[in-house]
Amino acid sequence: MSFSEQDASVSKASSLYHTAGELLAKADIQLDGSRPWDMRIKSTEVLDRALSEGNLGLGEAYMDGLWEADQLDEFFFRLLRANLYEQVKPSKLVLHALRAKLTNLQSIKRAWQVGEAHYDLGNDFYAAMLDKRMTYTCGYWKNATTLDEAQEAKLDLICRKLDLKPGMKVLDIGCGWGSFMAYAAEHYGVECVGVTISREQAEYGKSLMKRGLPVEFRLQDYRELNETFDAIVSIGMFEHVGHKNHRAYMEVAHRCLRDDGLFLLHTIGKKVRESTPDPWIDRYIFPNGDLPSIGQIGDAAGELFITEDLHNFGADYDKTLMAWHANFERSWPQFKERFGERFYRMWRYYLLSCAASFRARDIQLWQWVLSKQGVLGGYQRVD
């Protein structure tokens, strides 16, 4: 490298450091500071990647070990509350945005990708991170002090919102490891059918069926369903449906629900209708994911369902994710050899950045209760 090239490199690095430092200062974050939420960098390459590629560049640089923050969740919380992401418009993500807008990334063929990439990491891995029932969705912490209590409270809340009674037949769209189906069968005497696109989850479901519980796991895409149920629940699956399929999803629920039945939709959501899925989350955690807005859900349900109740307890996801992170850190030594250091940093980044997103109220957790014809006399929310 010539002296002029060295001078240009140093000048660029100095300019990047200054620009990034000014941005971060708006969130009370210091570059190479000593507070737990301050960002310590090992190369200005981190700043270049973050400013040109947004969270994709920032996340990959973290996975590569190029920067640290002792309290990663607090770092992201401050970024989000200061709206810094809105001030950085990454030029390299134009194609990602167009692809998400124009392509059906959640077609029947592509829908199986998230199962293979995320949910099939291993049942033992998720058993170590989650609660005793393996519930991979937001807990309800109103009267809970532990993860197990919060998840059981959430499952019971759903059962009561649906007014489940013994002998009812319930459909669970995106049933996960069957925590809702097992709980509802044990405590409310119902029969459940669940569909999943994860082979690991379907295999785990066989153990529940061996216990004699009236639950059926199907390795099946939701669009193939065509039978009638007394109630329908979908907990943490709608985020994988995609805006191009929202209407088709609601049509499936409508044709499968008894005329006087209730449908509970539990989903993460965003505050804006037109947005692009986070590129880092899309590449490394949830391929083809797409968070809905209230407007998009309303459009999809129009003429098919009446919204009886809408409940937001998104702040509870912060506590849930932090509990998962604590379990993950505690159990990591048994998975270190299998997954390696880069996976460890990726998973920490995922759990802690998402916790910060809910803490900052940037994204939400909604439970919708929907009916086909309206509850006569009005629906009464239980709590």
What's phi and psi for 205, nearest 5 deg? -60, -25
Mean pLDDT along residues 208-221: 86
- pLDDT higher than threshold 50 for residue 321: yes
The pTM score is 0.88
| Arithmetic mean of pLDDT over the chain | 88
- pLDDT higher than threshold 90 for residue 65: yes
pLDDT tens profile 232-255: 999 999 999 989 999 999 999 999
Q: In angstroms, rounded to a whole number, what is the distance separating the alpha carbons of residues 179 and 134?
A: 6
Mean pLDDT along residues 94-120: 46
Are 352 and 325 a contacting pair, CB within 8 Å?
yes
Name the band, by pLDDT with cuts 50, 70 and 90, for residue 197.
Answer: confident
Residue with tokens 């797409």, as numbered in its chain: 290
Higher pLDDT, 350 or 108: 350
What's phi and psi for 317, nearest 5 deg? -70, -30
What pLDDT does 8 receive?
41
Name the band, by pLDDT with cuts 50, 70 and 90, for residue 116.
Answer: low
Name the band, by pLDDT with cuts 50, 70 and 90, for residue 6.
Answer: very low
- pLDDT higher than threshold 80 for residue 42: yes
Are 235 and 176 a contacting pair, CB within 8 Å?
yes
- pLDDT higher than threshold 90 for residue 113: no
Just list the catalytic residues.
Answer: 354
Are 30 and 24 a contacting pair, CB within 8 Å?
yes
Higher pLDDT, 151 or 3: 151
pLDDT tens profile 257-276: 999 999 999 999 999 987 77
pLDDT tens profile 356-382: 999 999 999 999 999 999 999 999 988
- pLDDT higher than threshold 50 for residue 37: yes
Helix %, strand %, coil % of the chain (to 5)? 50, 15, 35
Name the band, by pLDDT with cuts 50, 70 and 90, for residue 91.
Answer: low
Percentage of the chain lying above the pLDDT 70 cut: 87
